[in-house]
């Protein structure tokens, strides 16, 4: 498989190592300094693009690749207000798009655990909250993973109606506290507290390898595909 990398930072480089170890080839590496090269990515030279850049650049990069009808696997966070715009654009182009706020298998199991626990806590006398901890270079807060967890909790538990990225005394608001400390690759912890006890579930990434492995699996899945996909299509959880 010929893979284009859009974004060659911490994730782009971790993904490249796994692609090469699995026998894939890298067709193009696009970064800020050669961003115009994105227009030259096409189905003749590239089977799939993996995009991990930044909140303010993801939308433009994804659309640029979809325009040339090459499937895109994106992991960039902080741009999801525009997700439905990308879905519409991808479908208009007859192209393929895969998105996950977190590509690691462990976090995707954790997403399901969070939904189950939120259901079980309905009607119980516990107050829920969340902490996410990442490295100091991270540009967005809360993390994309924390937003997915919050959406999963709110959809399955009647006590919360929205999340906020600050301390809150409003019982309807799910508080997400963001901490930035090095080298933290990504930790997410959900707490349910009552007067008599506390329940916590947490996921702690030890490195970026799990995210990169999942992104490569998604790229292998997307080669030759059209339409919109997520981790639910890739993993049988």
Ligand X SMILES: NC(=O)C1=CN([C@@H]2O[C@H](COP(=O)(O)OP(=O)(O)OC[C@H]3O[C@@H](n4cnc5c(N)ncnc54)[C@H](OP(=O)(O)O)[C@@H]3O)[C@@H](O)[C@H]2O)C=CC1
Binding site for ligand X (CB under 6 A): 6-12, 30-32, 35, 52-55, 57, 61, 75-78, 100-103, 137, 211
Q: Nearer to ligand LZUJQKHR by C-beta: 46 or 145?
A: 145
Nearest to 179 by CA among 148, 146, 209, 149: 146
Q: Which residues are annotated as a binding site for NADP(+)?
A: 22
- Exposure class string for 176-203: b at 16+ Cβ within 10 A, else e: bbbeeeeebbbbbbbbbeeeeeeeeeeb
The reply to whether 188 belongs to the active site is no
Task: Note the Cα 93 to chain centre separation in Å.
Answer: 23
Closest approach of Cβ 84 to ligand LZUJQKHR, in Å?
19
Q: Which does 61 bind (CB under 5 to 8 A by kind): ligand LZUJQKHR, ligand X, none?
A: ligand X
The encoded tokens of residue 108 equal 């995707």
Q: List the catalytic residue out of 134, 160, 188, 203.
A: 134
Supply the angle between the helices 83-93 and 58-67 in degrees, to the nearest 10.
Answer: 10
The encoded tokens of residue 184 equal 């933290």
Closest approach of Cβ 162 to ligand X, in Å?
22
Q: Which residues are annotated as a binding site for NAD(+)?
A: 75-77, 100-103
The reply to whether 24 belongs to the active site is no
**Dist CA 80 CA 86 (whole Å):** 9
Q: List the catalytic residue out of 69, 138, 225, 226.
A: 138
Q: Which residues are annotated as a binding site for (S)-2,3,4,5-tetrahydrodipicolinate?
A: 135, 144-145
């Amino acid at each position: 498989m010929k893979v284009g990398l859009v974004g060659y930072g911490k994730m782009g480089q971790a993904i490249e190592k796994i692609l090469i170890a699995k026998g894939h080839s890298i067709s193009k590496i696009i970064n800020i300094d050669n961003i115009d090269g994105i227009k030259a990515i096409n189905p003749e030279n590239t089977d799939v693009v993996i995009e991990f850049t930044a909140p303010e650049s993801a939308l433009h990069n994804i659309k640029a690749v979809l325009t040339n009808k090459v499937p895109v696997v994106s992991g960039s966070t902080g741009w999801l207000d525009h997700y439905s715009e990308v879905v519409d654009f991808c479908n208009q182009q007859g192209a393929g798009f895969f998105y996950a706020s977190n590509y690691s298998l462990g976090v995707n199991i954790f997403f399901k655990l969070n939904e189950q626990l939120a259901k079980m806590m309905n009607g119980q006398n516990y107050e829920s909250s969340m902490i996410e901890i990442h490295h100091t270079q991270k540009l967005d807060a809360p993390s994309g993973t924390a937003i997915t967890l919050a959406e999963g909790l709110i959809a399955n538990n009647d006590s919360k109606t929205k999340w906020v990225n600050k301390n809150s005394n409003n019982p309807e608001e799910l508080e997400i506290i963001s901490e930035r400390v090095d080298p933290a690759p990504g930790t997410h912890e959900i707490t349910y507290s009552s007067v008599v006890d506390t329940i916590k579930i947490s996921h702690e990434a030890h490195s970026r390898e799990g995210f990169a492995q999942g992104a490569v699996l998604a790229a292998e899945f997307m080669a030759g595909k059209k339409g919109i996909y997520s981790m639910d299509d890739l993993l049988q959880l």
